[in-house]
Chains A and B, each alone.
Chain A
Amino acid sequence: MKSWITTTDHKRIGLLYFWTAFAFFLIGGLEALVIRAQLARPEGVGVSAEVFNQMFTMHGTTMVFLALMPLTASLFNFIIPLQIGARDVAFPRLNAFSYWVFVLGGVFLNASFFVGPLFGTGALSVAPDAGWFGYANLTSRQYSPGPNIDFWVLGVQILGVASLAAGFNFIVTILNMRAPGMRMLRVPVFTWMTLVTQFIVITAFPVITVALVLLMFDRFFGTHFFVPAGGGDPILWQHLFWMFGHPEVYILILPAMGIVSEVLPTFSRKPLFGYIVVVYSGILIGFLGWGVWSHHMFAVGLGPIADSVFAGTTMLIAIPTGVKIFNWIATLWGGQLRFTTAMLFALGFIAMFIIGGLSGVTHASPPADLQQTDTYYVVAHIHYVLFGGTMLGLFAGFYYWWPKMTGRLLSETLGRWHFWLSLIGMNLAFFPMHFSGLLGMPRRIYTYPDELGVTSMNLVSTIGAFLIGVATLVFFWNLFRHRRALAPGAGPSDPWGGATLEWAVPSPPPVYNFSVMPVVEGRLPLWRTARHEPIAPLPATPPAPIHVPGGSWWPLITAAALPVMATGAVSRELWVVLLGVAVLIVGVYRWAYEPFEG
């Protein structure tokens, strides 16, 4: 137990990320089911409007910050040091710090469901209720006097710290910790896409940090950054939020694109078609992702020039995305295809992401977008991209790398059930939303009249959502069937015949990862190609003892300072805030002067 709490081993942190994020994924899923149960019939009476607002706000916030991002972080942690031939990340304690900040930030945010009585409100829950993008002035003290938005502002701020710390860590790890011969254009595509993702993280998160700081000043100290009565402009929030929010979409999808770029070649027994083009288009998506934010704001009325520019950039970004899709399909072409569960999810990703991408291009046209803004059409789009895209991609990754992470194969039979139920469920749930949206059903309404003509579509959506719930339970069961991890090296070291370095070490890998540092001579170090022999098998036991740095308490203690400060702020107790500051200072100093060889 203690060894897990103080661990700085990237593999253990990867597993911790997985189980924690998966728990939050289940919570976010339950919130979605409450929403869908309420909307199954017109004039639904299951939950009140207030509870409904909390459900969709927490569903979005949880899925983005507490489920999808940390699930990608789980794979970054476990796989990337192995793929580049490193013994750990560049900063192992900073890595542990990121994990603990994420967990404690998530707990802080979700604690709002149970602490209503402490704030003298009638209800048990004071969860955030202004939507995941928290538009001004729904979030102003005037219109939201309770602690709900305080939890959101401070909780999301804390989670940003976790992402930023991980961003610096992984950029340095990927650039600076590569094995001999692992040149940048030999780095596996998953690692490449992670690198791009982390550059987006460290540039996008400061913007939301500032937006949240300004909102915090509005709410706690009475400034008027977003309050029109004091001259402030609510639109500024939208700009700052989407300058973060759109790059965030790429933070969520690029890792999934990376996963698919690993899974498809392995199960087609062919190198990825156009490796360099896939890498460059990933970089291009990273850059262009910064120039499209205002397409979320066409309905604001920014004027014809701004609308045209952002319509153009948004259509432009479809090009590198389309390039990738063609490269994946070309990878399949003529390959020896093996339809494992990981492969099915990767193929599902391509198909569903194309649908989500196409509806995305329709938003790029301002006149069409005006019809779609704030309707269920947008909800359909984001779920095709984030569930059909990111989530199916992540499932492909977990089926592919689970044997590497735990030494156990997941059941392929249950995996197929999981895949088909997910695919059918998501299409039932989200496809009809295109139509209900275009017929005029606004998002974020807790009930609707029968006369709107969207009753049967909503029922189908609800059935589909519950099917996704069943599919997730199948996955859960699949994980738990063999939940005990094996001793290092006990599993089949490579059940799939992968080409990249992570498959050169035992499954699960020993604590030092590589018994000797591999020397890389090509992009596919484990495959025989026209120009390269596969690298020689690594010795089973290290020829020389390998020193692995021990654990540390200070990442956890330093991380704990942040929710303490936030708790002090929501409860208006200055001494608690100061206590948190004191813990932070002690934690940072003890950390800095702790003898620890990274």
Chain B
Amino acid sequence: MSTHAGSMGLDSRKMAFWAFIGSECLLFASLISTYLVYKGKSLNGPYPHEILNIPFTSFSTFDLLMSSLAMVLALSAIQRGDMRQGKRWLFVTALLGLIFLGGQVWEFNHFAHQGLGLTTNLFGSTFYVLTGTHGAHVTVGVTWLLTLWVQALRGKLGPAQAMTVEIAGLYWHFVDVVWIVIFTVVYLIQ
């Protein structure tokens, strides 16, 4: 698809995506508010301080931040037509996303073994729904990035499709920023 600016001087798909991100902000704001409203209201344990592993999740957070850096490098390479680097960094971004998801699977599993299920208490319910929704967003993002990577391998992604990559990047950075908020609210401020 070609890029063409409309009456606002902006590509329509990019503008739609900014509107989508605005909408997503309200989605996560509602979930985070629910988490905050129910903070400390659990009738029984396990409680957050007994179970959250800040060093481990700090690593996940660092991993996701680095994936945003890789995304920037991927877009920049594709925009200047360097598809060899473009392919590499797209793959690295997706891989870092997969590592984050792996960490989340391990974390959910570990918490479940320590007795925190979805229905155990309000902390469990709000924690799993909030971080799970974020994880679902990361999953969509990884799928998207891998799709672009496969397209690039097949030679169907080039500088002409840089806008598609840029929009995927917008999504990816947004998901990353949301995680920073979640990490701060859920893990750091207990």
- Which A positions have Cβ atoms within 8 angstroms of B? 90-91, 164, 167-169, 171-172, 175-178, 182, 202-207, 209-211, 213-214, 217, 221-225, 230-233, 236, 240, 243, 589
* Alpha-carbon distance A209/B27, docked complex (angstroms): 7
| Other-chain contact of A176, B12, B23, B34 (Cβ < 8 Å) | B12
Contacts of A171 in B (CB 8 A): 15-16, 19
Cβ contact within 8 Å between A217 and B16: no
Contact with A along B29-52 (1 / 0, CB 8 A): 011001001100111000000000
Interface residues of B in 118-139 (CB under 8 A from A): 118-119, 121-122, 125-126, 129, 133
Known: A172-B12, A236-B34, A236-B37. A225 touches B125 (CB 8 A): yes
Supposing A176-B7, A206-B24 touch, asked if A221 and B16 sit within 8 A by C-beta, the answer is: no
Bound form: Cα–Cα A464–B53 in Å: 65
Task: State in angstroms the CA–CA spacing of A593 and B26 once bound together.
Answer: 30
Given contacts A207-B26, A231-B41, A231-B42, contact A177 B7 (CB under 8 A): yes
Q: Are B22 and A202 in contact (CB under 8 A)?
A: yes
Determine whether the beta carbon of B7 is less than 8 Å from that of A203.
Answer: no
Say whether, besides A207-B30, A230-B122, A231-B122, A175 and B8 are in contact (CB < 8 Å): yes
Please state if A202 and B7 are interface contacts (CB–CB under 8 Å): no
Whether A230 and B43, one on each chain, are in contact in the complex, defined by CB atoms closer than 8 angstroms, is yes
A223 to B30, CA, bound (A): 17
Please determine whether A213 and B129 come into contact, CB atoms closer than 8 angstroms. yes
Return B165 CB to nearest CB of chain A, in Å. 14
Q: A177-B6, A231-B121, A236-B34 are in contact. Are A172 and B16 (CB under 8 A)?
A: yes
Chain B residues, CB < 8 A from A224: 119, 122, 125
User: Which chain B positions have C-beta within 8 A of A225?
Assistant: 34, 38, 122, 125-126
With both beta carbons as reference points, the residue of chain A lying nearest to B2 in the complex is identified as: A597
10 contacts between A and B (CB under 8 A): A164-B23, A178-B6, A206-B23, A221-B118, A222-B119, A224-B119, A225-B34, A225-B122, A231-B121, A589-B147
User: Smallest CB–CB gap between A179 and chain B, Å?
Assistant: 8
Residues of chain B within 8 A (CB-CB) of A217 are 118, 125, 129
Q: Are A202 and B34 in contact, with the CB atoms below 8 A?
A: no
- Identify the closest chain A residue to B123 (Cβ): A231
Report the minimal beta-carbon distance from B135 to chain A, rounded to whole angstroms: 14
- Interface of A, helix, strand, loop or mixed by DSSP: helix
A residues less than 8 Å from B119 (CB atoms) = 221-224, 230
Assess whether A168 is in contact with B37, with CB atoms less than 8 Å apart. Answer: no
Q: Which residues of B contact A589 (CB under 8 A)?
A: 147
Chain B residues near A167: list those with CB within 8 A: 19, 23
* Docked CA distance A323–B34 (Å): 37
Contact B43 A91 (CB under 8 A): no
Q: State whether A175 touches B122 (Cβ < 8 A).
A: no
Contact at B7–A178, with CB atoms within 8 Å? yes
Task: List residues of chain B with CB within 8 A of the CB of A206.
Answer: 23-24, 26-27, 30
Partner of B16, one of A90, A213, A233: A90
> How close is B136's CB to chain A, nearest CB, in angstroms?
11
A168, B129: Cα distance in complex, Å? 26
**CB pair A182 B19 closer than 8 Å:** no
Distance between A549 CB and nearest chain B CB, rounded to angstroms:
12
Contacts of A214 in B (CB 8 A): 34, 129
In the complex with contacts A90-B12, A209-B27, A224-B122, A176-B6 CB distance below 8 A: yes
A206 to B38, CA, bound (A): 20
A-B contact count (CB 8 A): 106
Closest to B130 in A: A210
**Is A175 touching B15 in the complex (CB atoms < 8 A)?**
yes
Contact A91 B41, beta carbon cutoff 8 Å: no
For B20, give the chain A residue with the smallest CB separation: A168
Bound Cα distance from A3 to B26, whole angstroms: 37
Per-residue A-contact encoding for B61-93, CB less than 8 Å = 1, 0 else = 000000000000000000000000000000000
Chain A residues whose CB sits within 8 angstroms of the CB of B7 once the complex forms:
175-178, 182
Alpha-carbon distance between A211 and B31 when the two chains are bound, in angstroms: 9
> Residues of A contacting B118 with CB < 8 Å?
217, 221-223
How many Å lie between the Cα of A19 and that of B83 in the bound state? 50
A243 proximity list for chain B (CB < 8 A): 30
- Provide the bound-state CA to CA distance between A48 and B121, in Å: 39
Q: Is B10 an interface residue (CB 8 A)?
A: yes
A230 touches B121 (CB 8 A): yes
What are the residues of chain B within 8 A of A221 when measuring CB–CB?
118-119
Query: How far does the alpha carbon of A388 sit from the alpha carbon of B58 in the complex, in Å?
Result: 57
Interface centre among B10, B19, B118 (most CB of A within 10 A): B19
Q: Which of A168, A178, A210, A233 is close to B19, meaning CB atoms less than 8 Å apart?
A: A168
Give every chain A residue within 8 A of B10 (Cβ-Cβ). Answer: 176
Give CA–CA (A214, B133) in the complex, Å.
11
Nearest-neighbour CB distance to chain A for B111, whole angstroms, equals 15
Interface centre among B27, B31, B119, B125 (most CB of A within 10 A): B125
A168 to B8, CA, bound (A): 15
In whole angstroms, what is the CA distance A177 to B4 when docked? 11
A278–B118 Cα distance when bound, in Å, is 50
**Cα distance A240–B43 in the bound complex, in angstroms:** 23
Given contacts A202-B19, A206-B24, A236-B37, are A91 and B12 in contact (CB under 8 A)? yes
- New A-B pairs, 20, CB < 8 Å, besides A167-B23, A202-B22, A224-B125: A91-B12, A172-B16, A175-B15, A176-B7, A203-B26, A205-B23, A207-B30, A209-B27, A210-B27, A210-B31, A214-B34, A217-B129, A223-B125, A224-B122, A230-B43, A230-B121, A231-B38, A232-B38, A233-B38, A243-B30
The docked-state distance in angstroms from the alpha carbon of A240 to that of B31 is 10
What separation, in Å, do the CA atoms of A176 and B4 have in the docked complex?
Answer: 11
B121: chain A residues at CB < 8 Å are: 230-231
Chain B residues near A222 (CB-CB < 8 A):
118-119
The chain B residue with its CB closest to the CB of A84 is B7
Given contacts A217-B129, A223-B125, A231-B43, are A211 and B30 in contact (CB under 8 A)?
Answer: yes
Considering the chains assembled together, what is the distance between the CA atoms of A209 and B129 in angstroms? Answer: 13
Whole-angstrom distance from the CB of B94 to the nearest CB of chain A? Answer: 17
Q: Tell me which of A209, A210, A230 contacts B34 (CB under 8 A).
A: A210
Q: How far apart sit A233 and B119, CA to CA, in the bound complex (Å)?
A: 15
Which residue of chain A has the shortest Cβ distance to B37 in the bound complex?
A236
A231 partner residues in chain B, CB cutoff 8 A:
38, 41-43, 121-122
Bound-state CA distance A473–B31 (Å) is: 45
B23 engages A168 (CB within 8 Å)? yes
Cα–Cα, bound, A207→B33 (Å): 11
Q: Is the CB of B22 within 8 A of A203?
A: yes
Q: How far is the CB of B174 from chain A (nearest CB, A)?
A: 14
Q: How far is the CA of A202 from the CA of B16 in the complex (A)?
A: 11
Roughly how many angstroms separate A211 CA and B41 CA in the complex, as a whole number? 19
CA distance A168 to B21 in the complex (A): 10
Cβ-closest chain A residue relative to B27: A206
Q: Report A-chain residues with C-beta under 8 Å of the C-beta of B126.
A: 225
In Å, the complex CA distance between A225 and B121 comes to 10
**Within 8 Å CB of A175, what residues of B?**
6-8, 15
| A10 CB to nearest B CB, Å | 15
The interface residues of chain B lying within 8 Å CB-to-CB of A178 are: 6-7
Name which of A168, A205, A232, A236 has the most chain B CB atoms within 10 A of its CB: A168
Which of B16, B23, B31, B122 sits near A203, CB closer than 8 Å? B23
